[in-house]
Amino acid sequence: LDEFFDVATEAQLGVHKKPIIVVNVDGFFDALDVLLEGIVAKGFAKPMILDLYHLADGPEAALLALQEALLVS
């Protein structure tokens, strides 16, 4: 989680524009997604934080998300 938040913070500050793909095998990181949505809902973070990362259901989905993110940027 430390690395996730380091990279997300750097993305939010504009240090990099690299896609952040979280491989969410068996829903392991669903709680992270819920936590961040709750933080935004309570006004402790701006909604743009939710656009900084993508949860992928497995390695194949992660590679697809990465390819799509690189095509867009």
For residue 72, pLDDT over 80 is answered with no
3-state secondary structure of 15: coil
Longest dimension (CA), the chain: 34
Structure pTM? 0.86
pLDDT tens column, 1-34? 999 999 999 999 999 999 999 999 999 999 999 9
For residue 61, pLDDT over 80 is answered with yes
58 and 23 Cβ atoms separated by less than 8 Å: yes
